[in-house]
Every structure is written in C-alpha cells, then in structure tokens.
Amino acid sequence: MFGLFSQKPQWNVSSIPDLSGRVVIVTGGNTGLGFVSCRELARKGARVYMLSRTESRALAAIEKIKKELGPDIDPKVEYINFDLQRLKTGHEAAEEFMKRETRLDILINNAAIMATPYELGPDGIEGQGCNGTGHFALTVPLLPLLKKTAALPESHVRIVNITSIGYKFARFGTPDFSSLEGLNQKSWSTWVRYGISKLSNILFTNELQKRLDQDRIYCVSVHPGPVATELFRGPLESWPFLAPLSRIANIFLHSPEEGALTQLYAATSLEIEEKKLKAVLLFPIAKPTAKVTLAKDKDGKLGVQFWNLCEALVKQKA
C-alpha cells in the first residue's frame, strides 16, 4: 500500500556532501525519519535545528545523536519548540530561529500524523489537516531568509516537504481547501483524510516553487516509503484491535535509516539542481515519479486555495 523501494545503490548517506557552514531545520526531528535526518546532516557538519513539540524528547534525542556520532564528531544540534497543531508555534519557531541564525540552507518539513481518529486540534483544524497548515505557518515566515541565503555564492537552498503515496487516497474524497469547513470535512475513512493532508503537502511544494522559481530555491516533495516509525501510532488509535499485528507488520517495513535516504537526497544532492528537479515528487530511493492529476493541479486552483486558506488561518490564529 505504501510502495516498495526502487533502489538507487549509488546514493547513500556517504554521498551527502560536506555541509560545514550550512544551517538546517528538521521538523519532527526527535524520532524516526526526522531523527536520522538530523543525525546524518549533523554528521556532515551542518548546524541542525530540531523542531519538536516536546522539549524533553528533543533534548534526549540530541544526546542520543551525540552518543551515536561518537567522540570524534562534535554535532551542532539545537532544539526549538514547534507544535504542528498550533499555528502560533510555527511563527514563534521561525522568529526564534531568525534570532539565532542569519542563513537557512535546508528546511525539511518532516513532522506528521497518520490515520488518526477524527478530532479538531487546538486551533479548530482537523488533526491530519495540520500536516499541511502547520508547516505553512512555519515555512512562510522563513522565506525571506531562505531567499537571502539563496543569493549567497555557492548556496544550495532546499525546501523538502514529506508527503506519502497515501496522497492518492484523496481521490476517494472531495479535497476542498476553499474554507476551514472544507478542510475539516469528515470522510468515510481516516485514510481519505490522511490522503488529502498529504496532497496538501504536494500542492504546497508546487505553489512554493512557483513563487520561488527566480530565487535558486529547489522545492521537493518526498514519499519515504513503508518505514517502521511512530507514524503508525495513528492507525492503532483508529483500530486498536490491530495492535497484535503491528509487530508482524514491522518485519515488512524498512528501517528509518533506509527511509530517510530520499529526503536526505532531496535536501543535499547536487543532482537536484543538475537535473533541474523543481517541484518534483521523489519516491524511494531518490526516484522522480509522476503525480496523479489532483497533485499536478495544472490550473493551480487547489494550490492557490490551500495557500489562501492557510494565510487566513495564520492571520486569525497566529
């Protein structure tokens, strides 16, 4: 259901170039794909900001990174609070980051929830819908700094939005980003709501690329593949009776180390620029993949709707 890996054996973490002097943000960095991304980017010399909701978990993850990298590497990893379901924290996290740094080279919007029961978050936005709105609230205030960095010599600025092959489930619903009521609409399946949220990640990438096309910034959507991470807590909340099967399912899933390869490729590989992979959708490992019609959004209607709705929500809530 989540897609199998198409191997790209010539690219792995050892292919990540030296990132000394580069500055990175990874959301949801305390566990799973985000944790691996933070660790490997720090290993290559980047200053990494781990954005996470729970400070204690983030600080524990940072200590774990230091331990795993060993005494020969002094990783530069810092924590900033960010809660995907609270738009205000997106703006606050961006402001806090800009107090600390004068450049931003890589933004990996990695945090997400999946297939959770229907519930409105603290801002009145359906939980899975925050997969899109939360990252909008963080990303847009950072755009001036991303543009400034892109204007520097030898810069390679990337915005990487993590989506899922599950975005295709949106076809079984009615994606509506024209209003909060449309975004919050209930569906016959939690997977349809998940698909719509992951579609919004791709639409956001498309719209960002249009608006940043003259700024040497490459925006990429990434489906990481079937990976054993905490993301699967959502389906277990929706269907608790599946819990005994979860251990068996993990046998067929890839490790976070494997799963993080495509987003690390998107964030760091020079092939992104060499092959002009703008607004591309990458499947594992590092494979450009055609989008379905909804995600192509040729007339731009859905992307503009999503952007305008997020702007209005941020203005109201943040």
Q: Is residue 3 part of a domain?
A: no
What is the C-alpha to C-alpha distance for residues 209 and 84, in angstroms, rounded to an integer? 22
Has residue 127 been placed in a domain? yes
3-state DSSP assignment of residue 48: strand
Least confident of 147-156, 189-198, 220-229, 244-253: 244-253
User: Could you give phi then psi for residue 78, rounded to 5 degrees?
Assistant: -125, 160
> What are the E-state strand segments in 28-89?
47-52, 76-81
Mean pLDDT, the chain, rounded, equals: 91
The tally of domains found in the chain comes to 1
Q: Is the pLDDT of residue 4 over 70?
A: no
Active-site annotation holder among 194, 218, 265, 291 = 194
Q: Find, among 112, 93, 115, 114, the residue nearest to 104 by Cα.
A: 93
pLDDT at 239: 38
pTM assigned to the model: 0.91
Comparison of pLDDT for 226 and 220, the residue scoring more:
220
Per residue in 71-123, pLDDT (tens digit) is 999 999 999 999 999 999 999 999 999 999 999 999 999 999 998 999 999 99
**At residue 78, what is the residue type?**
E
pLDDT of residue 275: 97
Q: Tell me whether residue 271 is in a domain.
A: yes
Average the pLDDT over 35-53 and give the result. 98
Q: Are strands 106-109 and 23-27 parallel, antiparallel or unpaired?
A: parallel
Note the pLDDT of residue 3.
45
Residue 210, domain member (yes or no): yes
Is residue 115 assigned to a domain?
yes
Residue 5 pLDDT exceeds 50: no
For position 297, what pLDDT does the model report?
A: 96
Residue ranges making up the domain that contains 153: 18-317
210 flagged as catalytic: no
Contacts of 223 (CB under 8 A, 6+ apart): 3, 162, 163, 164, 165, 167, 262, 281, 282, 283, 284, 289
The whole-number average pLDDT for the span 228-245 is 50
Region 22-30: mean pLDDT is 97
> Which CATH number covers residue 296?
3.40.50.720
pLDDT tens for 265-316 read 999 999 999 999 999 999 999 999 999 999 999 999 999 999 999 999 999 9
Q: Please tell me which residue in 44, 198, 218, 291 is annotated as part of the active site.
A: 198
pLDDT, tens digit, for every residue of 148-193? 999 999 999 999 999 999 999 999 999 999 999 999 999 989 999 9
Residue 197 falls inside a structural domain: yes
- Beta bridge pairs of residue 167: none
User: What's the CA gap between 186 and 184, in Å, rounded?
Assistant: 6
Q: Mean of the pLDDT values across residues 210-215?
A: 95
In a domain, 12, yes or no: no
Residue 9 lies in a domain: no
Say whether 79 is catalytic. Answer: no
